[in-house]
Structures are given as C-alpha cells and as structure tokens.
Structure 1
Amino acid sequence: MLKTLDSALALLTRFTIDEPTWGVRELAKATGTHHAVVHRVLATFAANGFLMQDSAGRYALGLRLFELGQVAHQTFVPSAVVQPALDALAEHCGETVFLTLLDGNEGVCTDIGQSQQQLRFSVELGQRFSLLAGAHAKVILAFQSDEFRAAIYQSADIADAATIDGDLARIRADGWSYTREEAAATVAGVALPLRSSDRRRVIGSLGIAGPLQRIEGETVTQLVEILKKTRETIEPVVGLNR
C-alpha cells in the first residue's frame, strides 16, 4: 500500500511551474508508468480536489492543494527547520554558527548554534552589527545596491571607500566572505549570503566564527563547503516571507 502511495505522490510531484499540466498518456510516457495506472491515480486525485481536469482532458493542480498550501504557510514555523540545522552545523564544525538578517542599515542576529568548545566566539540573539566589519556583515553589504553601499559609507563617515569596495567586489566574485580580526580581536569568520525566495535580494548571511587559530588556511575552504550544505536547508525557509 505504501508503495502505491509513493508511486501516486511521485506522479503528483510532476506538476511543476515548468510543466503545470499533463495528459494521461504524456505523463505515463514521462514516468514509465502504465497509462491505465496513471489514469486511475489522476482520476482519484481529481475526485478529491487535488487535481482538476480541463475540457481537453489535461490535468492541473486543484484548489485543495492551494488550500493546504495556505495552511502550511500560516502554520509553518521557520525555527523548526533553522535551529536544528544550525545546531547540527555547530556540532560538526565545533564553532559558533549564527544567522544574520538585514534590518535597515544593520545586521541583526536572529538564530544561533552554540559551539561547545571552552574557547569560542560569543554572540547574542538580537545583537546588532555594522555592515562594515566581519564576514557575516560584509557578505550582506557586498550584494546590496551601489546606492545602499554609498549610504552606509556616508553614515559611517568612511574616507577610503575604494578599499572597502575592493573587498566587497572580491566577496561577490567568490560568493563568500572570510575576515580576520575585523569585528573582534583574535576572531575569524566565514559567511555565505542568504537570498530572498525570489532570488533577487540578499537578505542576510549564514556565518561561522571562532578563534583565529582554528579558522585559517585549508579549514576556511572546508567551512565554506559545509556552510553551503546548510544553506540549502535553511535559505528557502529564511527567505519565505522576505
């Protein structure tokens, strides 16, 4: 029975933005499933409102799925995904992991995965940061508009904006940021940008910070790779309503 359910759901997931409608034989050919089975499954979904059928016999997603999507949207708690992911990453790398979101012209720490090491980077929920120092901050600033960056420089009375612009250009080219002793003495950090759900804006960062002697050399490259894996999990959630 579970195998049948798996097969039915596999057919349902074929309805995507790129391919929103399917005919029975067309879907059967695409999935390698007998057309009689496909017909039976699609008809059952349609009878229960999960699919609807047009006059040409093609199927599309139905209003019942829209209703369930609304329920999920209103009751979904991002922290249920984010916090376990940060905790797992902190345990894996042994360093403090934290999420920073852009708020006005500052970054604010919204979620933390605590390092269990005695010597560790300390950050607090709700702590605010300038966007001009630290990997977690600069990786956000790097992907903002020229006008936004200029306003940040002006408000901080930055005389040598060209040097910072050069740093930010390198961050944009690399897709990640690494800094040493910028936000705090003896501390190094690595961070990746987090994008909005439409992928058009950088809304925050996912960062790791710890003692300089533990975050340098080849370790930095390794941390970037594990950050990327965690980002795949949390970015769709973090960017959902931003």
Structure 2
Amino acid sequence: MDAPPRRGRKPLQGDPVVLRALALLAAFDAEHRALSLAELARRAATPPSTTLRLARRLVEWGALERDDEGRYVVGLRLFEIASLAPRSHGLREVALPHLEDLHEVSRQHVLLAVREGEEALLVERLSAHGAVEIAYRVGGRMPLHDTGVGLVLLAGAEPEVRAGYLGSLEPAAAERLRRRLADVPRLGVAIFDRRRPAPVSSVAAPVRDRTGRTIAAVSVVVPAGSARPQAYEQVVRATGLAISREMGHRRSG
C-alpha cells in the first residue's frame, strides 16, 4: 500500500534524520500493526538501508520491537511516554470514575475524546460484553462531523476552526452541519445516528475546563432502535458536567 497521508497541513521541517524516524513510527496504524522491513520502508517512503539503520536504533531505544516473525511493531516505550501527555492522562484520571458510573448505568459503549486538529482522538473507551460493534479504539481518530463526540468538539472549537472545517465541505453539507452545531450549545448534547459498521446512535456532551473552554467530549453509543437516544441525554449531560466540575469549571447563573 502507499504511504499513509501525513496529518496536518504544514510541511515538516527540522532534522531529516528525526523526520525519517518519525515517518517510520507514522507508518503504523490500526490496519498495519506489524510490518516487515520492506513494508516499513515502503509505507514510510524511506530507502531500505536507511529504514534498517533507523529501525535498529528505535528498537534499541524501545520505540519499536520485533515480534516472533521478525516484523516490527510499536514498542512499549512509546506507550510509557504517551501516557504522560497531560491532555489525555490528567483528563482520563479525572474522568474515569464518572465514565465507569455512566457505563454501569448504560451497559453500552462509553467514549471520551479530545480534538486533535480536524479529528477527534479517542482517549478512553469502556464497553460492555455484547455491546453493538463499533470501530473506535483508544488512540484512534474519528471524523468531527460523523460522530457524536466530534460534533460536540467541533461545536466547542474556536470560530476559526469551525469556519475552516465548514469551508472544506460542499455548501449543502456545510449548511446541514452548521445547523447541527448550533443545536449543541442550546441542548447541551449532540445526538448522532450512523449506519455502518452497525446501526448505532450516540449521545455526547462537552467537558469544559475552568475557563469554560470545551476540552473533551463524553458519549454513550447504543444500538439504533434499542432505545430512544433522548433517553440518555440527561445522564450523559450530567456526566459531562461532573467531569467539568473536577476540571475546574463552574457553571454561571
């Protein structure tokens, strides 16, 4: 397969060796968790000799490991480093007890996500046995316009972010999305239905910091038709408010 597209619009700048090492790490994704040397070189668009040299250094450091078949996989050292990210670790630590309560009440999927550029990044997921199939995974990215948490995060983003996102869509789609985003602050939640990979409905609410800025979104994902999504509005909204309070937010009025 071709090398995966690089996220973001700014060209990479800096030390070429560092950039090539980062390209090797970016070659992995949910569908490509283990790569041979040839596959790694191809997906990173790096010469095989350079790939081998950098991969050896990354293995020594712990960023990469070798599986039983000799293929390269992401190393635990990266997990250790990533777990220190304040936007996920501190938030997740505060939110987890409330997510567990929401999970106990709903017995469905419970998600916690933050915005990363023009996508939602999933930082926690709790799932019940037998819950409807969903493709979301911790560390995975989701479109802002096509998920409940994404709608909440986009509605709470800076005006220029919303304008840029809407401007990238066809006019009719942009107008529909604009109307949906306008409902989020009024209702305190976003409700989204999708058909694939299985019909589901999600109800999402914002998590705010002490300044009132939306820093995350929490949601419940349920099978479409199992219950009216509106039945979850109150509990999801309350969960978002509870996490927000612990993040320092105080409601006005």
| TM-score, normalised relative to structure 1 | 0.58
Cα RMSD between the aligned structures? 2.7
> Which of 130-139 and 142-151 deviates more?
142-151
Whole-angstrom distance in 2 between the partners of 1:96 and 1:188: 11
The answer to whether residue 183 in structure 2 is matched with residue 174 in structure 1 is no
Partner residue of 2:159 out of 146, 159, 181: 146
1:223 corresponds to: 232
- On the 8 A contact 1:189/1:215 being kept in 2, the answer is no
- Confirm or deny that 1:112 pairs with 2:121: no
Identity rate, percent: 22
Structure 1 residue 225, shift from structure 2 partner? 1.2
Where do residues 1-242 of structure 1 align in structure 2 (5 Å cutoff)? 78-156=91-169, 160-181=173-194, 185-199=198-212, 201-216=213-228, 220-237=229-246
Task: Give 1:174's aligned amino acid.
Answer: L
Q: Secondary structure at the match of 1:115?
A: coil
> 5+ residue gaps in structure 2?
1-88
Secondary structure of the residue aligned to 1:227 is helix
Report the Cα distance in structure 2 between the residues aligned to 1:173 and 1:77, rounded to whole angstroms: 28
Contact 2:133-2:197 within 8 A present in 1 as well: no
Would you say how many aligned residue pairs link Structure 1 and Structure 2? 162
Deviations 1:41-79 (A, max 9, x none): xxxxxxxxxxxxxxxxxxxxxxxxxxxxxxxxxxx9554
Cα distance in 1, alignment partners of residues 215 and 232 from structure 2:
21
Instruction: Say if 1:173 and 1:133 are closer, same or farther in 2 by CA, change over 3 A.
Output: same
Which structure has the bigger radius of gyration?
1
Determine helix, strand or coil for the equivalent of 1:160.
helix
Q: In 2 relative to 1, CA 149–115 (structure 1 residues): closer, same or farther, beyond 3 Å?
A: same
TM-score (norm. length: structure 2): 0.56
Contact persistence 2:191–2:204 (CA under 8 A): yes
What is the distance in 2 between the residues matched to 1:82 and 1:117? 24
The residue that corresponds to 2:32 in the other structure is none
Cα distance in 2 for residues equivalent to 1:215 and 1:158: 33
